[in-house]
Structure formats: C-alpha cells, structure tokens
Structure 1
Amino acid sequence: MKNPTGLTVHSKSRILEVAFDDGASFNIPFELLRVYSPSAEVKGHGPGQEILQVGQRDVGVTALDPVGNYAVKPTFTDGHNSGLYTWDYLYKLGAEQEQLWSAYMDKLHAAGFEGDSGREPGTVLPSAPKAHGCGHKH
C-alpha cells in the first residue's frame, strides 16, 4: 500500500495535491475527485449502476477529514460527503487521471452533452431517471 507524505487542498485552483512515499506526486482536480467519488451515491450498488455526475466544474472542497490511517473524507461544496478516499484510491485517481478524465468526457457526450456543457454548475441529466429506493439513506 502506498502512503501519503503530504495532502494539500488548494481552494483557489480547486486541486488536491497528494505526495506519496514512493516519490509520486499528483495534482487531482476537485471535479475529478467528485465525479469519481467512491460512495454508493455515485458508484451505485454494483457494476452498471454508476450514476453520472454532472455540473461539477466549479465544485470545491470545504473539509478534508482523516479516516483512521487509511483514508480521507472530503466534504464538497455541493454537500456530498459520503465518499471515503483510501490512499490506494487517491493514488489511482492521480496516476490514471488522464484516462479517467477522458472516460468522464465520453460518458457526458454519450448522455447528450456537447463539449463541456455537462460540466457547468446547475446541469441536470437530459432524461433524469426516476428515483427508486434501495434501502439506503443518501
């Protein structure tokens, strides 16, 4: 397991800077952190149940709370705070951010958004699915 040697929240540039004990260092945009939140609210409860996150271009981080010695829990300006970002997951987001960003853009395009339109604050999915209960309180 990789361990962080530094975590810095850059509020103005909306970047989380993470340095690891293997010498790797990443600048992860808050938007990427938010749209790839490891929470059930974003990931769903199994493969194929992921929920596309839109309107997150200007999302900020208001708090970054430690969870034991293995993770952090950010609170985003849109109120989302249920994702636990383990050190391994933060490393993955940093190391694979180009591919993850490209996949996110492809998903927005497939959902009917052109260019960056799905990233704008206040954006909603063109045909938002009806809410259905899963027994979890979100």
Structure 2
Amino acid sequence: MRRASSVLELAWDDGLSASLSAEFLRVHSPSAEVRGHGPGQAKLVDAKQDVGFVRMEPVGNYGAKLIFDDGHDSGIYSWVLLRELAEQHDSLWQRYLEQLAEAGKKRSAGGVKLFSVKTET
C-alpha cells in the first residue's frame, strides 16, 4: 500500500496486477454499512474522492481489513473479492459514476477537507 497516493497495489501469482484507489475500495466496501444486510439495501457512498488509507490489517489467510481515514473500518476484503474488484474495475467504476450522476451526488465533498489537530494541555 502506498499511503501517500492512497493506492493499494496487488499482484497475483498468475500475473494479474492491479492498482486500486482508496476511493474505489471505500465505495465498494464489503461492509453492511455500504452493501446493506440483504438484496436491494446497498447504499450509494459519495464524497470519498479524497479518502485515504490509515492502515491494512491481515485477516488470517482470508483477506484484509482496510482502515480508511474517514473512520470507516468495517468489512473484510477477501482476496477473492479484491480479485473480482480488480477484474471488474472499469465497469464497476463506470457504473458508480453513473449512479452518482443519477442521484445528483458528487465524488468530492465540495472542496472542504477536515483535519484533526492535536494540542497539548
């Protein structure tokens, strides 16, 4: 993972490689918050263009948990899911952009980015 560029780089033994952005992975999170608890319950996530990674935690041999800087930390990205996202990236991204347009939503939060500042007392 290259944190500065917010890209997760993956490579499989069969030669497939992919660079998936934090934004793409965040809006396609396997979490119930994004996908819902059943068919037709998925939520359109917007304003994540500037999201980044905080860290990645391995989950056994199964996959990884991605922690995003917007506080999202639920959902396990299995290696199978990451492969599917890599293979279907272009069509999934296009559909996401179409859904945003249909809903009148944007990828960015309107140019406002919040920062946390620690102070010592």
Same fold (TM > 0.5)? yes
Deviating beyond 3 angstroms after TM superposition, the runs of 4 or more aligned structure 1 residues are: none
Length-normalised TM-score, structure 1: 0.77
Paired amino acid for 1:84: I
Which of 117, 120, 123 is residue 108 of structure 2 equivalent to? 120
TM-score, normalised via structure 2 length: 0.87
Instruction: Report the residue type matching 2:76 in the other structure.
Output: L
CA-based RMSD: 1.3
> Which residue, 62, 76, 88 being the options, matches 2:68?
76
Structure 1 unpaired stretches of 5+: 1-8, 124-138
> How many residues were matched structurally?
111
Seq. identity, %: 47
CA distance in 1, matches of 2:92, 2:2: 21
CA distance in 2, matches of 1:31, 1:62: 13
Equivalences for 1:84-99 in 2 at 5 Å? Answer: 84-99=76-91
Instruction: Look up the match of 1:103.
Output: 95
Partner of 1:128: none
Unaligned runs of 5+ in 2: 112-121
What is the CA distance between 1:46 and its match in structure 2?
1.1
